[in-house]
Every structure is written in structure tokens, then in C-alpha cells.
């Protein structure tokens, strides 16, 4: 059910649940890479923010923006905003590119090896 009074048109609870699933998916993928000894990335979560520290000391930061119903990604390539679009869909507010595709591209560029979330 859509709620025109919220930034995404979806209830706050839907946004919150989807954003938390997205952060958990990131953490689970990093844990899998560590278990498989693919790459040594540290994932630190503080509330609605996950900081990924790569071996070369660069970072990727993903944080929830509840008032806007967005996830923000900060990377060497720039800053990106992804608005909740229902389910587990997070299109970039400028280009429409998928959040996990962009996160994967940024992580790959910064790590110097293919990484897919």
C-alpha cells in the first residue's frame, strides 16, 4: 500500500525493514568473503550505517536516511543517493541504477578485484 505522505510513497515501516535487509545483506556478503578468504574487508555497523574498510585503507560507507527513505553510498567515485522503491528495489535518484550494482562497481574499483554484492 502506498503512502503519498512519505518521500518514497511507501510506509516508514516498509522503508525501515528494507533498509535493514540491505545492510544485513552487505554484512553477510562481507562475512562470506572473509570465510572464503577472498578479501579481508572489515565491516563495522553503527546504527543505520555500515563502513567497509578495504585492505588498501579506502572505505565505502552506506547509511540509512530515514526522513528521505534513502540509502546513501559514499565511495571514492562520489556520493550516491538511492530511494526506496518497494520490495528490495533501490534505484539511484539521478540515474536509476540499482544500489547493489553501484555498490559492487565501487567496491570492485576500490578493491582492485571483482566484488559482487
Domains and CATH numbers, the chain: 12-109 (3.30.920.10)
26's CB contacts (< 8 A; 6+ apart) are: 43, 50, 52, 62, 103, 117
- Give dist(CA 87, CA 6) in Å, integer: 16
C-alpha span between 55 and 3 (Å, rounded):
42
Confidence of residue 5 (pLDDT cuts 50, 70, 90): confident
pLDDT, tens digit, 9 for 90 and up, residues 25-52:
999 999 999 999 999 999 999 999 999 9
Instruction: Tell me the mean pLDDT in the region 75-80.
Output: 97
Q: What is the pTM of this model?
A: 0.93
Amino acid at each position: 500500500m502506498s503512502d503519498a505522505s512519505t518521500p518514497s510513497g511507501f510506509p516508514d515501516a516498509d522503508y525501515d525493514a528494507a533498509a535493514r535487509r540491505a545492510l544485513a545483506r552487505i554484512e553477510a556478503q562481507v562475512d562470506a568473503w572473509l570465510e572464503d578468504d577472498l578479501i579481508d574487508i572489515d565491516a563495522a555497523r553503527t546504527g543505520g550505517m555500515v563502513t567497509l574498510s578495504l585492505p588498501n585503507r579506502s572505505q565505502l560507507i552506506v547509511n540509512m536516511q530515514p526522513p528521505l527513505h534513502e540509502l546513501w553510498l559514499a565511495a571514492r567515485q562520489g556520493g550516491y543517493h538511492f530511494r526506496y522503491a518497494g520490495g528490495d528495489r533501490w534505484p539511484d535518484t539521478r540515474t536509476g541504477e540499482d544500489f547493489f550494482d553501484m555498490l559492487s562497481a565501487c567496491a570492485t574499483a576500490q578493491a582492485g578485484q571483482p566484488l559482487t554484492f
